[in-house]
């Protein structure tokens, strides 16, 4: 049969447990707003009872552990969904940049420059002939060419910006990988005793979530508590060791371009979904695509106008090339024409009142060029519509993906988040337990007193 002392001991254990519970509650309340913090709960278990012939009598409570309420499945889902979201967001924001470069619905400057260029030809072609209008054709052509050149240059800038961003993302990725390696070591050390290092694990989970946003990862936990971080089959963190990424320039199908490689071995990395892949895709696919389409528009314009203009006759000299170059980067107005606008040819006959060439060039504004069935302006417009459709679908993807991420985040917040109501209830519960245990000790004291007074 247990002694009074053992009753007192039981009560004391209850006071300890209530204290631990209060401390956990305080920790939870304190970290209610800490990013990546996972709600902790104190796990208590009844002590091993003393067994007698009549049965067993409990010996009080033991604090077994303080556990994190983490749901690894939800966390993995969140990471892969966030990787997708970051991928889409990068592409969407690049498309938004491209859209800004090309103007807006009300400020479609290249379209306007094309219209004005053909309009200047139409004015030149309209009788009565006024050779002063040749200067206007040249001016409008220069505006158009300048717009093409500046769009090309701005797209170049955009590509360089994207590459700079890739560089910045790599710096944070490398730092995150190094931090995960560091935390792995700390956790291994902290958990030697067998108890989980909750707050360190929270930090590591947070870092891995951040890594996932840059490039989707898979993780594998080892028995020693360390976590391997794997990016597209390549183990980047192994216990306390980690590998780093860097960039280099390689010959690709699109010319000499910046690619992501591993540090040291310089092996090219196929990036999984995430911000990095989004950035590189928007450079390699979306910027390139727009550039190719606008190059096509410029080439069509150059060829169609030149083909007609060289047939022309001005005075004794035959028609020159109107444009030089073969892309929106290289397109220029023939410098000879800029110096001598009178050499702008309006007709095959060279007669002052004849304007067949000018008419035909002006007609390029609304007749199809080079048998494509599309006018030059149509070709440009289809670039805009293509861009608009892509932007539209990416906005839609981003919005949907945001909802998916929010749903998983809510789910996680529901599982791991701190509820102040819940903590208040726990607090009251632990307070009551503590008070009851204290009362128990006071009661045992009274019993002791009675016993002593008997003597």
Partner 1 sequence: MAIRISDNYLSKILLGDLNRSLGNLLKLQRQAGTMRRVNDFAEDPRAVGAIQRYNALIANNEQYLRNLTRSSIMIESADTALQDISSLLAEVRELALRESSAVATTQSRQTAVIQVDNLINRMLDILNTTVEGNYIFGGTRTDVPPFVRNAGTIIYQGNEGQIITAVGPGAVQVVNITGDVFMGSMSAALTGSVDLAPRLSAGTFLTDLNLGQGWDPGVITIRDGNNNSWNVNLSAAVTLDDVMNAINTTTGGAVTAGLNASGTGLQLSGTGPLQVSEAGDGQTASSLGIAGISEADEFNGRDIRAWLQPGVALTDIAALDGSLPLGAIEIEVDGVFTTVDFSGAATLGDLQSILAAAMPGFQLRLDASGLSVVSSSTETFYIRNAGAPNTASLLGIEGTGTPARMFGILEDLRNALDSDDPQAIRGSLVEVEALEQMVQSLLIKIGGRQQDFEWIETVLMQRDTQLRSKLSLERDADVAKVSSELAAAEMSYQSSLLVTSRLFQANLMMYL
Instruction: Name the residue among 300, 299, 290, 345 with its Cα closest to residue 325.
Output: 299
CB of 130 to partner 1, least distance (A): 6
Report residue 273: phi and psi, to 5°.
-60, 155
Selection from 160, 111, 165 nearest residue 301 by Cα: 111
- Which C-beta is closer to partner 1: that of 141 or that of 384? 384
Six-digit token pair at 192? 């030697």
* Closest CB to partner 1 among residues 221, 386: 386
Q: Are 394 and 92 in contact (CB under 8 A)?
A: yes
Least spacing, CB of residue 245 vs partner 1, in Å? 32
The token pair at 338 is 């800029």
At its nearest, how many Å lie between partner 1 and the CB of residue 352?
Answer: 4
Site residues (CB under 8 A) for partner 1?
32-33, 39, 95-96, 99, 104-106, 108, 111, 115, 118-119, 122-123, 125-130, 347, 349, 351-355, 359, 362-363, 365-367, 377, 381-382, 384-385, 387-389, 391-392, 394-395, 406, 409-410, 413-422, 424-425, 428
**Distance separating alpha carbons of residues 136 and 422, to the nearest angstrom:** 77
Q: List all residues 6 or more positions away from 432 whose beta carbon is below 8 Å from its beta carbon.
A: none
| Least distance in angstroms from the C-beta of 220 to partner 1 | 28
Smallest distance, partner 1 to C-beta of residue 349, A: 6
| CA distance linking residue 454 with residue 448, whole number of Å | 10
User: Helix, strand or coil for residue 321?
Assistant: coil
CB of 417 to partner 1, least distance (A): 3
Q: Which is nearer to partner 1, 245 or 394 (CB)?
A: 394
Closer residue to partner 1, CB minimum distance, 101 or 328? 101
Residue 230 to residue 314: CA distance in whole angstroms: 70
Pick 66 or 441: Cβ nearer partner 1: 66
Toward partner 1, which CB reaches closer, 130 or 263? 130
Give the Cβ contact number of residue 365 at 10 Å.
17
Please give the structure tokens belonging to residue 18.
């209530």
């Amino acid at each position: 049969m247990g002694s009074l002392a053992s009753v007192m001991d039981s009560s004391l254990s209850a006071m300890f447990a209530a204290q631990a519970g209060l401390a956990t509650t305080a920790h939870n309340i304190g970290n209610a707003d800490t990013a990546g913090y996972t709600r902790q709960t104190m796990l208590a278990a009844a002590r091993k009872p003393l067994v007698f012939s009549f049965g067993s009598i409990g010996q009080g409570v033991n604090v077994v552990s303080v556990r994190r309420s983490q749901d690894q499945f939800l966390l993995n889902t969140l990471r892969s969904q966030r990787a997708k979201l970051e991928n889409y967001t990068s592409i969407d924001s690049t498309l938004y940049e491209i859209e800004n470069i090309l103007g807006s619905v009300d400020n479609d400057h290249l379209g306007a420059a094309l219209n004005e260029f053909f309009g200047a030809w139409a004015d030149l072609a309209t009788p009565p002939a006024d050779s002063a209008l040749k200067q206007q054709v040249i001016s409008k052509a220069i505006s158009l060419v300048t717009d093409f050149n500046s769009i090309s240059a701005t797209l170049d800038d955009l590509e360089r910006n994207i590459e700079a961003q890739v560089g910045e993302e790599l710096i944070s990725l490398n730092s995150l990988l190094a931090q995960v390696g560091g935390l792995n070591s700390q956790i291994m050390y902290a958990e030697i005793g067998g108890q989980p290092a909750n707050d360190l694990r929270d930090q590591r989970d947070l870092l891995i979530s951040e890594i996932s946003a840059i490039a989707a990862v898979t993780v594998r936990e080892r028995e020693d508590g360390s976590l391997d971080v794997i990016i597209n089959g390549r183990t980047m963190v192994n216990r306390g060791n980690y590998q780093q990424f860097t960039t280099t320039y390689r010959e690709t199908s699109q010319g000499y371009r910046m690619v992501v490689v591993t540090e040291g071995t310089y092996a090219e990395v196929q990036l999984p979904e995430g911000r990095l892949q989004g950035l590189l895709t928007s450079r390699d696919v979306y910027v390139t695509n727009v550039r190719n389409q606008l190059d096509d528009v410029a080439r069509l314009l150059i060829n169609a106008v030149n083909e007609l203009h060289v047939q022309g006759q001005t005075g004794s000299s035959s028609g020159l090339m109107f444009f030089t170059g073969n892309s929106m980067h290289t397109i220029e107005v023939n410098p000879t024409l800029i110096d001598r606008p009178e050499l702008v040819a309006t007709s095959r006959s060279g007669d002052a009142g004849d304007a067949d060439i000018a008419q035909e060039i002006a007609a390029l504004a609304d007749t199809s060029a080079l048998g494509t069935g599309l006018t030059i302006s149509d070709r440009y417009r289809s670039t805009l519509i293509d861009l608009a459709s892509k932007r539209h679908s990416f906005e839609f993807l981003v919005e949907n993906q945001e909802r998916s991420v929010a749903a998983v985040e809510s789910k996680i917040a529901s599982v791991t988040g701190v509820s102040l109501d819940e903590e208040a209830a726990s607090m009251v519960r632990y307070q009551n337990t503590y008070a009851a245990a204290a009362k128990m000790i006071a009661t045992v004291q009274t019993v002791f007193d009675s016993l002593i007074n008997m003597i």
